[in-house]
Amino acid sequence: MRVLLTGSSRGIGRAIAERLAKPGTELALCASQPSSALGDAVEACRRSGARAEGLTGDLGDSAVPAALVAEATSLFGGLDAVVSNAGLAIPGSLTDDIDEAEWDRTFSVNLRSAWLLARAAYPDLKSASGSFLAVASMSGVEPYPGTGAYSASKAALIMLVRTLALEWAASGVRANCVSPGLFLSAMTAPIYADAEKRSAREALVPMHRIGDPARDFAGLVEFMLSADAGYITGQNVLADGGLIGSIHTQVADRPKSSPLS
């Protein structure tokens, strides 16, 4: 399998890269700029027997997604899958804090880059009957105040992928989203470094733990790219430990014999 993976130098992206790294797999690991973290990810994948190459470019630049696809296809002779994982969250309220430049930056990285990656990769994915997979977020299903445009961009990403799935279905190309809930990642590490905040969040999750990228998410990505998921398209698969579905369990003092309304 020949895979282009963005946001691959750390966190969830690094866990995905290492899960996919097997003999016979070719991985284009993408990051915004050269770094020791990207080099470490490439070397870790090579040690597992995969061919891995590090590519760089700022996905906020509209020319970069197509350039990354072109470089990957030149290296590997084509692509079987694209995993659009890179994203950012700029904190602040939509009313008072975030400005137009921050809004545009969030949407360009979280949404526009996925569209441009998909469009550029489509000819290769069509030839391979391949798959496009975007990493969205629980915050794209339910709003998360205080993260500026993040929730809006992830909700739009889910709809983008659902639309691509319909456009591509007849050509044999699948498009899906996978959405993490409360996970430990490079983006959330500062939150979970606070033991009190971590404990409070764990208490909200029915499984009573924060998700681990390697244990709880990378395998889902591997499955969604595999032939075993070959009849799944246009879906957003949520990995949240049951959190979003647990709202009724968090309403105190409700009558046990009557429904909520």
How confident is the model at residue 184, as a pLDDT?
87
| SS3 state of residue 147 | strand
pLDDT at 185 over 90: no
260 confidence band (pLDDT: 50, 70, 90): very low
Find out whether 50 and 22 touch, Cβ atoms under 8 Å.
yes
Instruction: Enumerate the β-bridge partners of residue 29.
Output: 5, 54
How confident is the model at residue 158, as a pLDDT?
98
254 confidence band (pLDDT: 50, 70, 90): low
189 confidence band (pLDDT: 50, 70, 90): confident
Average pLDDT (99-123) is 97
Provide the mean pLDDT of the chain: 94
Give me the architecture of the 2-185+212-239 domain, per CATH: 3-Layer(aba) Sandwich (3.40)
How confident is the model at residue 249, as a pLDDT?
79
How confident is the model at residue 152, as a pLDDT?
97
The pLDDT tens digits for 145-159 are 888 899 999 999 999
How confident is the model at residue 259, as a pLDDT?
46
Instruction: Determine what percent of the chain is predicted with pLDDT higher than 70.
Output: 96
Look up the pTM and report it.
0.93
258 confidence band (pLDDT: 50, 70, 90): very low
Average pLDDT (184-188) is 81
For the four alpha carbons of 181, 183, 185 and 191, in that order, the dihedral sign comes to positive
45 confidence band (pLDDT: 50, 70, 90): very high
Q: Where are the domains of the chain?
A: 2-185+212-239
pLDDT at 252 over 80: no
pLDDT at 118 over 60: yes
Q: Which two tokens stand for residue 131?
A: 């798959």
Find out whether 206 and 248 touch, Cβ atoms under 8 Å.
no
Q: Which two tokens stand for residue 183?
A: 């996970």
Q: Which two tokens stand for residue 56?
A: 């760089």
Average pLDDT (142-146) is 89
Separate counts of helices (H) and strands (E) for the chain: 10, 7
Find out whether 76 and 52 touch, Cβ atoms under 8 Å.
no
Average pLDDT (46-52) is 98
Ramachandran sector of residue 260 (left: φ over 0; alpha: ψ -120 to 50; beta: rest): beta
250 vs 12 pLDDT, higher one:
12
Average pLDDT (4-19) is 97
How confident is the model at residue 186, as a pLDDT?
77
How confident is the model at residue 138, as a pLDDT?
95
Instruction: Determine what percent of the chain is predicted with pLDDT higher than 90.
Output: 85
User: Catalytic residue numbers?
Assistant: 150
